[in-house]
Amino acid sequence: MDIEELQTFVEVADAGGVSPAALRLGVSKSIVSRRLARLEAELGIQLLARSTRGAALTEAGTTFRDYAARACAEIDAAKETILPAGDLRGRLRIAAPLSFGPTHFAPVLAELARRHPQLHVHTSYSDRFVDLIAEGFDCAIRVGTLPDSSLIARRVGPLFGKFVASPDYIRTHGSPETPEELLAHQALMQGTEAWQLLDGDKVITVRPQGRFKADSGVALAVAAAAGLGIAALPNYLIDEYLASGALVPVMTRYPPPPAGIYVTRPPGQHQTRKVRVLTELLVACFEQNSNPAGTPPV
């Protein structure tokens, strides 16, 4: 059974259609369709029910997908085992945050590609929470506090931040001094997330409210500088605003706890050498640069 046909089937199954799978694989839709047709002919069974809206797995396809994915993972692991030491090939698909990735992670990814000329590095920069499995990513670089999930995560560096607001906002609404007072203010958030604050060694969780939300930390920093409310943002996004006086720290007695920078990957899969090498590069980057993600709060 052709491994390319198995890999193509898994991509189509996970992507939900021929077109998105072709985009992931970097081949034409006709090639994807031919590979699927050959695989179904060899098995003598229909794996996908195709329609104008995409491709859905049949009952047989659902069962076969898991076996095919495991087989592909084992083949990838076997290939890595026999490659020359340090040699990386194939494709590595990475999801990275837009607010942090192009400035802090892009140099590491460029260095990875430079060291391994036969490795194809494909990075998608977005501040939305990417579904690694459904969208076919090998791993993601994520910043902040990770929500509970089945993903496997490795912490590669620290991330520090502050609560901030503009002087105009403070003149109009005052500066909160306690977690209870914070709840009476407009919060600038990415969604409906809870905020954590440190009271000495104790972590306090609050659920603020606000009318301005955005899936970009950069946009929240701009909104805070415009006087729309209080934001909890990493130092790397607000250092320039603080230096110019456009933003000032608030809730300094109750700072947000240090967060982290993580490499996450789907569960139940063999960790490929590609992901491991990327992770090691990021760890080395943050060890060499003691202040890559903003200075710790004073």
Question: What pLDDT does residue 175 have?
Answer: 95
**What pLDDT, in 10s, does the model give residues 200-257?**
989 999 999 999 999 888 999 999 999 999 999 999 899 999 999 999 999 999 999 9
pTM of this structure: 0.67
Phi/psi for 165 (5° steps) reads -155, 165
Output the six-digit token pair for 127.
């501040």
Q: Specify the 3-state DSSP secondary structure of 38.
A: helix
CB contact at 8 A, 155 and 262: yes
Express each pLDDT in 22-65 by its tens digit.
887 878 989 999 999 999 999 999 998 877 676 788 999 888 98
Q: Classify residue 53 as exposed, middle or buried by CB count within 10 Å of its CB (0-12, 13-18, 19+).
A: exposed
Confidence check: pLDDT of 151 > 70: yes
Residue 162 identity (one-letter amino acid): K
- Judge contact between 58 and 51, C-beta under 8 A: no
Residue 294: pLDDT band by 50, 70, 90 thresholds? Answer: very low
In the chain, % of residues over pLDDT 70: 91
Angle at 242 between CA 219 and CA 262, to 5 degrees: 60
pLDDT in tens, 3-28: 889 889 988 887 878 888 888 787 89
Question: Residue 138 and residue 123: Cα distance in Å, rounded?
Answer: 10
Percent of the chain with pLDDT over 90: 48
Dihedral-angle region of residue 268 (phi above 0 means left; psi in -120 to 50 means alpha; beta otherwise): left
**pLDDT per position as a tens digit, 69-117:** 888 877 777 776 666 666 787 788 899 998 888 888 999 999 999 999 9
Buried b / exposed e over 245-264, threshold 16 CB at 10 Å, is: ebbbebbeebbbeebbbbbb
The C-alpha atoms of residue 120 and residue 160 are separated, in whole angstroms, by: 32
Distance CA 261, CA 155 (A): 6
